[in-house]
Amino acid sequence: MGFNEPGSAPNSGTRLVTLDDLTRRDASRDFGGKENVPRKAITMGIGTIFKAREIILMAWSGKKAPIIKKAVEGEMSSDVPATYLQLSDNVEFVLDMDAASDLTRFNTPWLVKDCVWDDALIKKAVIWLSQTVKKPILKLTEEDYNNHGMAQLITEKGTAYEINIDIFNKLQSTITGWPGGKPNADDKRRPERAEPARKRVVIFSPHPDDDVISMGGTFIRLVDQGHDVHVAYQTSGNTAVWDDDVLRYMEFAIDFNKSIGQETDHLENIYEDMRGFIENKQPNQLDTQEIRDVKGFIRKSEAIAGARYAGLDDDHIHFMALPFYETGKTVKKPVTDIDVELTMELLQQVKPHQVFAAGDFADPHGTHIVCFNIVLAALARLRETEDWAKDCWLWMYRGAWHEFATHEIEMAVPLSPQEVERKRNAIFKHQSQKDRPVFPGDDAREFWVRAEERNRETAKSYDDLGLANYEAMEAFVKWKF
């Protein structure tokens, strides 16, 4: 749909347009920051598009799901110009499953057709019904089921009461204050195993702050409960630091060297070269190696501070610097065997019982899904030959960019007000990402605010369904090998 921004008329032609703020934020990565994105663009209008013999709209990833739902099922409006495509007899939408996931036929299929009711679909449907009628699960009636397209479910699977009890119990069993498993407890209805009581754990963090942003409370709780926790920062994150921070740290290094009587001529020459480069730097221009190094050091020092605050010793903090990332550009190299082998080496060193990895693939950099696939490939290879790997559970976390839907959650870790504050303090160690990070994505909130509000929304969702009322919750889904 090009740059047909909200307000575009159905008969609009090819023209110059002023870009919407969201469009400019979405494009910021390609231009080296939002401030470099043009404010105007030329676009083919809706009227011009309708002159085509055939129209194909393509979309992929869950990030596109909300706008696809509006385009296909929403009322026609200039607020969403893509809805005008409903007027054409020659339009075809080509989508992947993630982009199509909000469409009624996929998201709530019981509203449009008979369903094959497996356990996952029943759980999703009952939670949806509870949220729709605004009743706790245990108060849902057969009338609620009948009036909302779910009569087939109670006809095939039993009474509303029986279904309600079953789903309530399944939800309740996802809640645990023991993310590493509760020692000497019956673990048949708990998300994690009780044994071994002290687990070896590896938390993989794609960028040097994803660990504390997305699962900082669980991270701290695992350490507090005595598990052998390691954190592995998969990339340096050195493209996401402001240039003026580099100068500030260099000035600090020069002043410190002077204060202890060290020679600073060489540092000052490097500093002047950096300053000259930055003053003349073009959007998306590759930084010099020295600038990239300082940006990486800034993020490394912040990650160390965050991990130490969570309770880790320095020898349990690992910086992988996976080669695919280290281009200095927003566009990265393809993953190679070296990335997977480095990950395998770390896993073989620790031999974890638990691995946590980022499962929120909507990050604007695309780094999370790449890093997750590297972890997955490493574990898959190790599972072919090493017994410990076959017994290693992989938990996915989200939070920096979006959260798991309630029906997807398999482990929900409650956080007290004090633990929420500790998590916030761990996030605050990442000062270069505070206030306004280089690549904020399409969420204007600070990372710590996003994390807290998403964690509170998860807790509220459980409360609304009739379960315990917690301050906040971090959510996880177990990977099925």
Active site residues: 5
What count of other Cβ atoms lies within 10 Å of the Cβ of residue 135? 17
Amino acid present at 454: R
Q: What are residue 17's DSSP bridge partners? A: 41
Phi (first) and psi of residue 409, to 5 degrees: -65, 130
| Angstrom distances, CA of residue 294 to CA of 221, 237, 263, 367 | 32, 11, 19, 21
Q: What is the rounded distance in angstroms from the CA atom of residue 435 to the CA atom of residue 438?
A: 10
- Report residue 413 CA to chain centroid gap: 17
Contact 430, 422 (CB under 8 A): no
- Look at the block and give the residue holding tokens 């917690």: 470
Give 60: exposed, middle or buried? Use CB within 10 Å, 0-12, 13-18, 19+: middle
Structure tokens at 211: 């660990």
Order across the sheet with 354-358: list the strands. 317-319, 228-233, 200-205, 354-358, 393-397, 472-478, 411-415
Buried b / exposed e over 161-177, threshold 16 CB at 10 Å, is eebbebbbebbeebbbe
Q: What is the rounded distance in angstroms from the CA atom of residue 441 to the CA atom of residue 240?
A: 12
CA angle centred on 140, ends 136 and 146, rounded to 5° = 145
Phi (first) and psi of residue 192, to 5 degrees: -115, 160
Q: What are residue 411's DSSP bridge partners? A: 476
